[in-house]
Amino acid sequence: MYSLSVVITTHDRSQLLYDCVESINRLKHRAEISVIVVSDLTDEETDKVARQVLRRGDIYVGADRASGPAESRNIGISCATAEWAMYLDDDDFLISEGIDEFIGKKDQTVESLMMFNYAAHSSPGTIIDHRRITETPKETLFLGNYIPVSCVIGRTEYLKKHRFDPTLKSHEDWDWLIRVALPTKHSRSETEIFSARQSSDSRGNKAQADKSLVRTYQEIYGRYPPPTDKIASIRNSILARLGHSLT
């Protein structure tokens, strides 16, 4: 049985997908990892890359009808069979030190989640920043999202119970993290588990340029009541800066 299922979502970015999967293929623990690629736009180049880089036991799903990364991730986690699972975008890379630590700790971990730090890169092999999210209180999620989903490794059965909401126009990661990370205890590691490509073309970044950002904040704030008066006050300040309020 595999130790870790890695769900990679992709959309017409075959070269990025190639680099992403190759970062996994280079890991010394590759034999313990099952890669699940879900493409919501099946095209010839993506099919070709999948045939080139995926190994025996890996899974490739063409999901043309998927509405975006939320639904694609839900499809991917349904295919996961390892004890643990994580999500990875097609422009990210796994970092060997983080995977080594996970492999060493997984059998002693009683929590449902492990949380790691991450790095940022501008091009393959070029790390430009180090992000230490594990030093931030998880309650900060009531205000905004500071944790990329790829920082989280969870028990597969736990993650299968908590799917992404495909009805959200953006920030479905944030909604998922509130439901997954806040209710349960999790271990935290200072080690970096993956590197994220610095880019301005993500759906979340595009949303910040229009009114959908405000609508998303209002919807998520409405779904998850503030646990303290202080957080309620900060929420109102955030929306006020955007020209809106909760009232």
Alpha carbons 243 and 236: distance in angstroms, whole number: 10
Please list the residue range(s) of the chain that carry CATH number 3.90.550.10. Answer: 4-199
CATH topology of domain 4-199: Spore Coat Polysaccharide Biosynthesis Protein SpsA; Chain A (3.90.550)
Alpha carbons 98 and 164: distance in angstroms, whole number: 24
Query: Shortest CA distance to 66 belongs to which of 172, 212, 174, 206?
Result: 172
Q: Residue 66 carries which DSSP code?
A: -
Residue 180 CA from chain centroid, whole number: 12
> Tens-of-pLDDT digits for all 247 residues of the chain?
789 999 999 998 999 999 999 999 999 999 999 999 999 887 889 999 999 999 999 999 987 776 788 999 999 999 999 999 999 999 999 999 999 999 999 988 889 999 999 999 887 668 889 999 988 888 899 999 999 999 999 999 999 999 999 988 789 999 999 999 998 888 999 999 999 988 645 444 444 445 678 888 999 999 999 999 999 999 999 998 887 655 5
| Type and span of the H or E element at 79 | helix 69-79
Alpha carbons 100 and 104: distance in angstroms, whole number: 6
Instruction: Please give the full DSSP string across 39-58, using - where no structure is assigned.
Output: ESS--HHHHHHHHHH--TT-
Please answer whether residues 168 and 175 qualify as being in contact, where contact means their C-beta atoms are separated by less than 8 angstroms.
yes
pLDDT at 210: 54
